[in-house]
Amino acid sequence: MSGTPMSAAPPFAAPVTLTGPERAPRNLLAEQTYGDHASIHDEATAQGLGVAGAAVEGPTHFSQFDPLMAALWGRRWFERGRLSAHFTAICVDGETTRAVAEVAGTGATRAVLRTEKADGTVVLTGTADLGGSGDGAAGAGGGPTAARERLARIRPLTDPVIYAGWEPGRRGAAPERVRMGFDTHMGDLYPFTLRDKLASITEPSPWYEGGDNPWGRPVVPFEMISVLAMATYGESGLTKAEPSVGLFLDLEIALLDGPVFVDEPYVLEREVVALGESRRTESAWVRTTVTSEGTGAAVAEVLLHQGVFKESYPGYPAQ
């Protein structure tokens, strides 16, 4: 990765498309459990819900954009970058994907994104920018982020069953403390370590491994910020009815004052933003703020929209 942003070169107004190489993202969540049952990342569970196979976790695809965004914005991507995505199709182990980013010109501060399989199936659509403000829909380039645009159009869930007792504004039971070292086991939700992830990540970088970067410390890859934010979710008190199986529908990771560093203590605070539903799912939007325990500064924000299959919950009302 280059530490020099493209914006240091002469700007051009002509549209530019950046395309990454084909990669084969790995599913490291085959052993994931919550609520004493397997998840959609398990082959049998996924197929029981009509899904082709065990799903590769959505944030895994974020890594393929990091070289493209670093080419555009250099170190600023890891300090103020924001990646916002809507997941449109599931990718399973063995399938290859390619990241594509379109920008209005070489000086642009906003990109429109998509990830495609080899057959053209779109896995996700999204946006990236240097917004990182955590305060609303607009990105640095003036357009809405992909997730917040979807949030504005949700069909409200007025009579929750799986999310009974939830409501917008509800907060986690207490601040949660988390630290991600290279060999830290992140719990039942994430049965792998950062070192395991770096051995299979689609886009390895020395910036993740040691101090050979502008900050002199290894930084947590964008996709693993999601893991850090979710690892202690069981302590939040935000529990849904079980057994029920969910999947990520939308995800936005925003760096407010990054990077997020390896082996640094952080405090997590959660808030329910909205509840929604579709024909097959109940869903919840939850915002998690990641704060440095040492400085008290908010360094990142993760906005997750998770859907839960109604049919996965025994006895879900027919109407």
Please write the tens of the pLDDT for every residue from 117-131. Answer: 999 999 999 999 997
Whether 136 shows a pLDDT value over 50: the answer reads no
pLDDT at position 184 over 90 = yes
Backbone φ and ψ for 259, nearest 5 degrees, come out as -75, 175
Whether 74 is covered by a domain: the verdict is: yes
- Count: domains in the chain: 1
In a domain, 4, yes or no: no
Query: Could you tell me the sign of the dihedral formed by the alpha carbons of 155, 159, 162, 163, in that order?
Result: positive
Judge whether residue 164 has pLDDT over 60: yes
pLDDT of residue 2: 39
Q: Which residue has the tokens 């990540």?
A: 201
User: Residue 43: its pLDDT value, please?
Assistant: 53
Q: pLDDT band for position 11 (50/70/90)?
A: confident
Comparing 270 with 134, which gets the higher pLDDT?
270
Whether residue 39 is predicted with pLDDT greater than 70 in this model: the reply is: no
Cα separation, 80 vs 70, in Å, equals: 12
Residue 270 is assigned to a structural domain of this protein = yes
pLDDT of residue 153: 96
Selected residue with higher pLDDT from 177 and 52: 177
pLDDT of residue 244: 79
CB 139 within 8 A of CB 82: yes
pLDDT of residue 275 exceeding 50: yes
Identify the DSSP state of 279: S
Instruction: Say what the pLDDT of residue 157 is.
Output: 94
Domain range for 301: 10-136+144-312
What would the mean pLDDT of 167-184 be, rounded to a whole number?
Answer: 97
Triad 222, 90, 313: Cα angle to 5°? 105
* Least-confidence region, from 5-14, 157-166, 203-212, 262-271: 5-14
Q: How confident is the model at residue 304 (pLDDT cuts 50, 70, 90)?
A: very high
Please give the average per-residue pLDDT across 88-101, as a whole number.
Answer: 92
Examine the pLDDT at 152 and tell me if it is beyond 80. yes
- The whole-number pLDDT of residue 29 equals 67
Q: Please, what is the average pLDDT of the chain?
A: 87
- pLDDT score of 48: 57
> Percent of the chain scored above 70 by pLDDT?
85
Integer Cα distance of 245 and 99 in angstroms: 28
On the question of pLDDT at 107 being above 90, the answer is no
Assigned domain for 2 exists: no
What pLDDT is attached to residue 67? 97
Of 76-90, 134-148, 172-186, 296-310, where does mean pLDDT reach its minimum? 134-148
Within-domain flag for 297: yes
Assess if residue 1 is contained within a domain: no
- State yes or no: pLDDT of 3 exceeds 60: no
Instruction: Provide the CATH number for the domain around residue 158.
Output: 3.10.129.10
Partners of 178 in the β-ladder: 266
Q: Are strands 16-19 and 265-277 parallel, antiparallel or unpaired?
A: unpaired
Task: Please write the tens of the pLDDT for every residue from 69-80.
Answer: 999 999 999 999
Distance between CA atoms of residues 197 and 200, nearest Å: 5
Kindly state whether residue 319 falls inside one of the protein's structural domains. Answer: no
Q: Is residue 210 part of a domain?
A: yes
pLDDT at site 7:
47
